[in-house]
Amino acid sequence: MAEPILKVSNIETYYGPIMAIRGVSFEVAKGSIVTILGANGAGKTTVLKTVCGVMDPQKGSVVFGGREIQRMDPDKVMRLGISHVPEGREVFPFLSVRENLNMGAYTRRDADGVAQDLETVFGYFPVLKERAEQRAGSLSGGEQQMLAISRALMARPQVMLLDEPSLGLSPKLVKDIFEIVVRINRERGVTILLVEQNANMALQTADYGYVLEVGRIVMADTCKRLMEKEDIKEFYLGIKEESARGKRRWKKRKTWR
C-alpha cells in the first residue's frame, strides 16, 4: 500500500463495560478506497465512530495526516478533513435539500467554491437538483442516501467515511451510488473508508479490504485476492465451492458437449 493518510493502531473501544472492538489496526492509503467487511455486530460502525471522534477509544491511536486525533471532538476532526456519512443517512428532515447541502459546508468561507461544489454534487446526483427546495424528510431512502453523501462532500474532505451506504436500497440504486462513490474517489481524489455488509459490491469497488469478526481484524488483503479466498466466497459472497470430484464431473460433462 502507498503512504497511509489514515493509520489506526491497536484501538479498543467500549460501550459501557462491553468491549466493541479489540486491538483493531489498519491503514488507509491516500487516494484509495478501503473497505471493512463484517457481519452485523462485528464492530464496523464502532470503528468509524472511533475514527471520526464520536466515540473515544480507551486504548490505541488514530493518526490522520501524521497527527494523532483520537479523543478529539468530532467537529475538529471534520475541520481537519474527515467527513462521516453515518448509517441510516441522518439528514435534517425539516430542512430543504439545498439547506442540508449548505450545512455540509458550514465551516467554509469560500462562497464561490461552495457554489461550485454545489453544482458538482448536482452533477453527480441530478435528482437532488430537481428536489433542491423540497424537504429532505420527504425524499425516498435512496435520495436521502445521495443527499447524505453529497452533504459530506460539501465539506471538501480528504477522507470520507461511508457507513453501510447500500442499507435498505434496491440493487439498481446500490449500483448507481457505488458508481458515484468511485467517481468521487477518482475525479476528486477523496480517500474512501467504506463499511459495508454487501461484500460483493464492496470488494468490486474497493482496492484493499479488511475483515472484522467479533471486534477483531481477522483478514486483510487486496480486494482481488480476498474475492478468491474460500472463506470469503462461502461466508460473504454466498459461493460454495464444489468438491474436487464434482469439479472433475463438471469438466467431463463439458467435454461431452
Helices (H) and strands (E) in the chain, counts: 11, 10
| pLDDT of 25 above 50 | yes
Percent of the chain with pLDDT over 90: 79
| pLDDT of 256 above 80 | no
Q: At what angle do helices 97-104 and 141-153 cross, to 10 degrees?
A: 30
| Residue range 37-56, pLDDT digits in tens | 988 889 999 999 999 999 99
DSSP H helical ranges for the chain: 44-52, 74-80, 97-104, 111-124, 126-130, 141-153, 171-188, 199-205, 223-226, 230-235, 244-256
Q: Structural domain boundaries of the chain? A: 4-88+155-226
Exposure string over 193-225, b if 16+ CB within 10 A, otherwise e: bbbbbbbebbbebbbbbbbbeebebeebeebee
The angle at the Cα of 227, spanning 224 to 228, to the nearest 5 degrees, equals 95
More confident residue, 169 or 98: 98
| pLDDT of 251 above 80 | no
| pLDDT of 250 above 90 | no
Which whole number is the average pLDDT over 206-227? Answer: 94
- The answer regarding whether domain 4-88+155-226 maps to CATH 3.40.50.720 reads no
More confident residue, 131 or 169: 131
pLDDT mean across residues, the chain = 90
| pLDDT of 9 above 50 | yes
Cell of 185: 474517489
- Please compute Rg for the chain using Cα positions: 20
Q: At what angle do helices 171-188 and 141-153 cross, to 10 degrees?
A: 10
Q: At what angle do helices 111-124 and 141-153 cross, to 10 degrees?
A: 150
| pLDDT of 248 above 70 | no
Confidence of residue 253 (pLDDT cuts 50, 70, 90): very low
| pLDDT of 179 above 80 | yes
The rounded Cα 249 to chain-centroid distance in angstroms is: 42
Confidence of residue 164 (pLDDT cuts 50, 70, 90): very high
| pLDDT of 12 above 50 | yes
Residue 162 exposure: Cα atoms within 13 Å on the Cβ side? 36
Euclidean distance between CA atoms 7 and 67, whole angstroms:
10
| Residue range 89-123, pLDDT digits in tens | 789 999 999 999 999 999 999 999 999 999 999 99
Which whole number is the average pLDDT over 219-248? Answer: 76
Confidence of residue 254 (pLDDT cuts 50, 70, 90): very low
What is the reported pLDDT for 246? 43
Cell of 51: 475514527
The conformation of residue 255, written as its DSSP 8-state character, comes to H
| pLDDT of 223 above 60 | yes
What is the reported pLDDT for 41? 86
Euclidean distance between CA atoms 26 and 8, whole angstroms:
5
What is the reported pLDDT for 240? 63
